[in-house]
Structure 1
């Protein structure tokens, strides 16, 4: 199993057309300051709960700061059996510039 990279426009379309889970792997302070609408801040403490409560067939977008760390995390989720896993190109930094209306402060 593997993941796909997804650009901002593709991610926005996916969110509009499907039920999608968003795993934001940035630190809690950055997440609380601003994040993608409906994102869940996933860290080592809540990872088991996230895995238990997120259906494996629901599309999953993994978001980090700039789109680098999310690739390793997306691979991890793919290895856990998630069938449609995406790493957000450009990360949250690009997302908040492109679609600020889909961010929560």
Structure 2
């Protein structure tokens, strides 16, 4: 499974690289803090797969990287080949870029 770091993700954002960010946490978690990705909880990721691009890079994230890894495994079984897991999830983003970010 391909992984990217929060530093690589920030670089993609800063340079306006075309990609899609999918946040597989629950809505209540997303409301606490998010990186402006599309919120599709892990439990619905296969059902809502039509919302996930196959044409551009897709970064999947969660709190720590575990649920996003599960989501990637499920989506790869559906034929996706353009997915990257955000290593360390939003916790790593907080540690690297935004110590004041609220996380649970």
TM range (shorter): 0.7 to 0.9
Equivalence for 1:75: 73
TM-score, normalised with respect to structure 1 = 0.76
TM-score, normalised with respect to structure 2 = 0.76
Cα distance in 2 between the residues matched to 1:66 and 1:75? 16
CA contact (8 A) 1:57 1:83 kept: no
Let me know the Cα RMSD of the aligned residues: 2.1
Gaps of 5+ in 2: none
What SS does the aligned partner of 1:48 have? coil
Equivalence for 1:87: 85
More strand by share: 1
Gaps of 5+ in 1: none
- The number of residues matched between the two structures is 97
Higher relative contact order (CA 8 A, sep 6+): 1
What SS does the aligned partner of 1:57 have? coil
CA contact (8 A) 1:60 1:85 kept: yes
